[in-house]
Amino acid sequence: MFRGVPFAAPPVGALRWRPPQPAAEWRDVRDATRFGPASVQGRPNGLTDVVPYGGAPEPTSEDCLTLNVWAPVHGAAPAPVMVFLHGGSGVFGSGSLPYYGGAAFARDGVALVTVNYRLGVLGGFAHPALTREARASGDLMGAYATMDQMAALGWVRRNIAAFGGDPGNVTLFGESAGAISVLNLAAMPLARGLFDKAIVQSGGGWFPPGQDRKRAEAAGVAIGKVFGVGAGGSVEELRRIPARQLMELNLPGAGFTDPRLAPEGLTSAIAAGRHARAPLMIGANSGEDSLLDHGDGVARLRAGIKPRVMARLRTLYPGADDETLARNYFRDGVGAAAARWVARKWSSRAPAYLYRFEHVDEAALARRDRAPHGSEIFYVFETLGQQPASIGAFPATAADRRMAAEVHGRWVAFARTGDPDGEGLSPWPAYSPGRDPWMVFGQDGACARDHLMRKQLDWYERRTAPLILMLRGRAEGRRLLRFLAGAPALPGERGGEGVLAR
């Protein structure tokens, strides 16, 4: 294990809100026995403590651009490499959390890399002063977290061979916000060649383009004014604002993505086939609606669903009560249907594999019958028993351990060859629209099933995909993104639930 390895210079002082710069070189042996600090943590609306939900405990710091490597014992051939991007709504989390440990991957001959990157307003910000500075220097602007992820992937290409890894066989994978980052990078021309395969765990796929620079600058001006820095303020004044105070502000972000990074939104890029020609695994959990459990998420969504939509949901989910209908609407409309759409579009350009994770820790079955958002992580990493408090760490049974071995084995097989089938595993067909195959990780094991929830998912796709592609960054799209991230609405807005309700 090599912990806390810098892949870029600390983004502090004059380097705050600038693209990542090269890390300082060193000549002697460097201590790599301790994790580097996570980025300063923020919190979605409705949470006061993010640690139970996957947030990083102290120490945290603005000086956070480090990665960690779990290296296999050197063999005759270079090892496949997997690079993991953590989730956390883009405002909290860390690559050093115990349930992202890579020991099982290294044991099975994979070099595993986890990454810290800038979060929240530190990872995405715009202001007229920053725009003036970037235009003078030629720097990319706005999406600093994305640039950090690209810098980490560049470090892996250049250096992973020294750890026994194969720089020509890199799988990028992530969960939740990290999975959205994987999709974003797959759709970005400047990220081409940084990875060879991709895995998207609960990352959806239906996202309108983010806000444009002018709107992002206006949001940045509003944030600056809280700290006494007006529209005409200098970059030096902005950079003197304490990082923790910025992250504690909990206002909607002022980030945007420089068009040189992303000429178009990821959904429109995928729809048009303008994405990396890389094998893809993508899926969702049966309990993605657990994202609604903090704050008043369920109530907000129920209040925004129009009667005609609720009537249709009753025909799609017979016998379900109104709360379950709202939960299913979120779970399948944001999760499963979007994942299936991505897999179908992707399959015309490169192999795609679609999954649904349904397995619930056996000791937890008395409390829940759905696999919550993020619960597959502990099976992927084989870190059962280390779940955060929001999911609950239950004693693993033999059935749980068998499922962890199955899921982990699929991820390892995909990293090796781009195909999640392996010795002793049941066949997982590549996605094709006619067959519509899913690999379902259920309570009784894993098996392929065709046309899973076809009637329901077809309905979501007919009504949602065209709307998302039509929005092209309009206000409805921005409200939807804020709602999904748990962020508060701007003054005068209803929030994103109204967009979902359509």
Give pLDDT tens digits along the chain (502 positions).
999 999 999 999 999 999 999 999 999 999 999 999 999 999 877 678 899 999 999 999 999 999 999 999 876 689 999 999 999 999 999 999 999 999 999 999 999 999 999 999 999 999 999 999 999 999 999 999 999 999 999 999 999 999 999 999 999 999 999 999 999 999 999 999 999 999 999 999 998 877 889 999 999 999 999 999 988 999 999 999 999 999 988 666 678 899 999 999 899 999 999 999 999 999 999 999 999 987 788 999 999 999 999 999 999 999 999 999 999 999 999 999 999 999 999 999 999 999 999 999 988 888 899 999 999 999 999 999 998 888 888 889 999 999 999 999 999 999 999 999 988 889 999 999 999 999 999 999 999 999 999 999 999 999 887 777 765 444 444 455 444 444 333 333 344 444 444 4
Cβ-based neighbours of 417, under 8 Å, separated by 6 or more: none
Domain boundaries, the chain: 279-471
Contact (CB, 8 A) for 145 and 11: no
Report pLDDT for 424.
85
- CATH fold, domain 279-471, is Rossmann fold (3.40.50)
DSSP state of 191: G
Report pLDDT for 389.
84
**Both ends of the chain: CA-CA distance in Å?**
49
The C-alpha atoms of residue 278 and residue 288 are separated, in whole angstroms, by 26
Report pLDDT for 499.
40
Which residues belong to the active site? Answer: 176, 288, 373
Report pLDDT for 464.
83
Report pLDDT for 46.
66
Instruction: Please identify which residue in the block is written with the tokens 């597959």.
Output: 376
The C-alpha atoms of residue 165 and residue 278 are separated, in whole angstroms, by 19
DSSP state of 72: P
Q: Tokens for 247, please give them.
A: 């992250």
Q: pTM for the whole thing? A: 0.92
Report pLDDT for 390.
81
What is residue 446's three-state secondary structure?
Answer: strand
**Of residues 211, 247, 213, 212, the one with CA closest to residue 227:** 247
Report pLDDT for 253.
63
Cβ-based neighbours of 146, under 8 Å, separated by 6 or more: 181, 184, 185, 188, 257, 261
Which residues face 174 on adjacent strands? 85, 200
Report pLDDT for 267.
93
